[in-house]
């Protein structure tokens, strides 16, 4: 029974609830609710796309979903938190895809947005994605990274110096485990 509940702050709530709300609030808004609204506004009608673009979209969707699941699991198992600002990781996650780039979770959303635009054959979804990408490219260095520096101190600054924000490094970064929280 203990796996079903996790202590969080002053209350105990089902562990599944800890994950459902961040998924509904964060990726569902950008991948389902906003695109649905935009497609409705633009009177979208699906038209068959080239088979190669449908195959590429399907492959990207699977890649994005796999990366999202992996990064969320790492936030839970290693970071002891979620992607939600109200329940952030308590430990700096520098394993798995985080050894190659600082934002693989958000990159997974970018990948799924591209897949969605290809599968739906929708330029409006590509425009939504461009706005989302630009907003996050501004938000992360101006806000998110400053918060992480305050929370994790020198460990995050060292990580930031060694791991690119968006472009993955080919060889995984090996943190100095004596100084870095993993």
Helix 104-120 and helix 34-41: axis angle, to 10°? 30
What is the mean pLDDT of the segment spanning 64-71? 96
pLDDT at 84: 86
Q: Where are the domains of the chain?
A: 54-173
Spatial contact of 92 and 180, defined as CB atoms under 8 Å apart: yes
Eight-class DSSP state of 12: E
* Overall residue count recorded for the chain in this entry: 182
CATH code that applies to domain 54-173: 1.20.120.1630
Predicted local confidence at residue 21, as pLDDT:
72
Give 22 or 136, the one with higher predicted confidence: 136
Q: Note the pLDDT tens digit of each residue in 47-62.
A: 877 899 999 999 999 9
Asked whether the beta carbons of 64 and 115 are under 8 A apart, the reply is yes
CA-wise closest residue to 168 among 108, 112, 110, 98: 98
Banded model confidence at residue 136, pLDDT cuts 50, 70, 90: very high
pLDDT at 14: 58
pLDDT at residue 13 tops 50: yes
């Amino acid at each position: 029974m203990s796996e079903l509940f996790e202590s969080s702050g002053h209350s105990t709530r089902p562990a599944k609830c800890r994950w459902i709300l961040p998924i509904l609030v964060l990726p569902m808004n950008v991948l389902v609710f906003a695109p649905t609204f935009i497609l409705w506004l633009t009177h979208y009608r699906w038209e068959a796309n080239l088979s190669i673009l449908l195959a590429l979209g399907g492959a990207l969707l699977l890649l994005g979903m796999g990366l999202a699941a992996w990064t969320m699991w790492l936030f839970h198992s290693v970071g002891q938190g979620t992607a939600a600002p109200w329940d952030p990781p308590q430990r700096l996650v520098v394993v798995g895809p985080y050894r190659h780039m600082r934002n693989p979770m958000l990159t997974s959303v970018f990948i799924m947005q591209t897949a969605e635009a290809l599968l739906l054959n929708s330029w409006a979804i590509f425009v939504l994605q461009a706005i989302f990408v630009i907003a996050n490219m501004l938000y992360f260095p101006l806000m998110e990274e400053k918060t992480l520096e305050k929370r994790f101190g020198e460990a995050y600054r060292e990580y930031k110096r060694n791991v690119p924000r968006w472009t993955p490094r080919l060889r995984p970064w090996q943190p100095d485990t004596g100084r870095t929280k993993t």
